[in-house]
């Protein structure tokens, strides 16, 4: 896909600037993916150390966002990117915002995990979280993978996965509903789980947004809200 390489600018520093922005985006993606995995692990293992690590880690995510955004502003000011370069820089600024929001959701999950641990873990309800966690982390992974290769087809396939995630989310909510009705005394804990599955579903939505940006970069088409 040579059309989307950063290379061959007559100003070779420009190649480096774009390369730099993109590799930072990939690093941020990797960090955020890890945050989500750890947050899910913190609930399933009732591990408060991991939950704390996720909460701490979100500060790194925020720093990465600001750094990448600054670099995008600079490259726009310096180079006035056009065509594929312009689409790349714009998509990075949008993707960074989604990654940051995913980071926030991971942090929320971690906070709910801590509350759950404090209240005393539940006996049931984890299966739905685990299942949704697997689907959402896979979706996020696929989105980042497609971004790394500007693979619009893979992005479209990943967008489709969001339907599955939404179904699993609905199923999880109704399952948690039933559990809450049968064990009203554990309402607080179950509400933690409700918030957690809600965050996972939101992460799926953000992963979908990332995929839309891949299509924008590769094809020049804005497929948001379609």
Partner 1 sequence: MPDMKVNEKHVTVGKQFHDDPRMTMRNVNVFYGEKQAIHDVSIDIGKNEVMAMIGPSGCGKSTFLRSLNRMNDTVEGCRVEGEICMDGESLYNTKLDVVELRARVGMVFQKPNPFPKSIYENVAYGAKIHGLADSRIDLDEIVENSLNKAGLWKEVKDRLHQPGTGLSGGQQQRLCIARAIAVTPEVILMDEPCSALDPIATARIEELIKELSENFTIAIVTHSMQQAARVSDRTAYFHLGQLIEVNPTEQVFTMPEHELTEGYITGRFG
Binding site for partner 1 (CB under 8 A): 3, 8-11, 14, 79-87, 220
Least distance CB 74 / partner 1 (angstroms): 17
Is the separation of the CB atoms in 202 and 105 below 8 Å?
yes
Per-residue b/e over 168-187, b at no fewer than 16 CB within 10 Å?
bbeebbebbeebbeeeeebe
Least distance CB 80 / partner 1 (angstroms): 6
Spatial distance between the Cα atoms of 79 and 65, rounded to a whole number of angstroms: 21
- Chain CA centroid to CA 104, Å: 9
Q: Which is nearer to partner 1, 119 or 221 (CB)?
A: 221
Q: Which is nearer to partner 1, 85 or 168 (CB)?
A: 85
Spatial distance between the Cα atoms of 13 and 206, rounded to a whole number of angstroms: 32
* 96 closest CA partner among 79, 122, 75, 71: 71
Tokens 């957690």 identify what position? 196
Least distance CB 21 / partner 1 (angstroms): 15
Tokens 């520093």 identify what position? 13
Instruction: Kindly state the DSSP code that residue 46 receives in the 8-state scheme.
Output: T
Q: Which is nearer to partner 1, 44 or 223 (CB)?
A: 223
Least distance CB 92 / partner 1 (angstroms): 15
Least distance CB 50 / partner 1 (angstroms): 44
């Amino acid at each position: 896909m040579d059309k989307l390489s950063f290379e061959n600018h007559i100003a070779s520093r420009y190649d480096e600037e774009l390369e730099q922005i993109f590799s930072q985006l990939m690093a941020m993606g990797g960090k955020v993916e890890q945050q989500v995995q750890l947050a899910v692990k913190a609930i399933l293992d009732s591990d408060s150390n991991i939950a704390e690590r996720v909460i701490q880690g979100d500060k790194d995510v925020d720093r990465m966002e600001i750094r990448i955004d600054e670099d995008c502003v600079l490259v726009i000011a310096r180079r006035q990117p056009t065509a594929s370069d312009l689409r790349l820089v714009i998509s990075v600024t949008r993707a960074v915002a989604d990654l940051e929001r995913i980071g926030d959701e991971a942090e929320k999950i971690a906070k709910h995990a801590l509350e759950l641990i404090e209240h005393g873990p539940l006996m049931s309800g984890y299966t739905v979280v685990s299942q949704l966690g697997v689907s959402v982390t896979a979706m996020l992974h696929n989105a980042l993978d497609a971004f790394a290769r500007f693979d619009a087809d893979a992005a479209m396939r990943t967008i489709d996965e969001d339907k599955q995630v939404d179904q699993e989310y609905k199923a999880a909510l109704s399952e948690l509903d039933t559990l809450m009705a049968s064990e009203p005394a554990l309402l607080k804990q179950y509400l933690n789980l409700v918030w957690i599955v809600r965050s996972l579903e939101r992460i799926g939505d953000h992963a979908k947004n990332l995929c839309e940006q891949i299509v924008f970069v590769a094809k020049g088409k804005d497929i948001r809200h379609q």
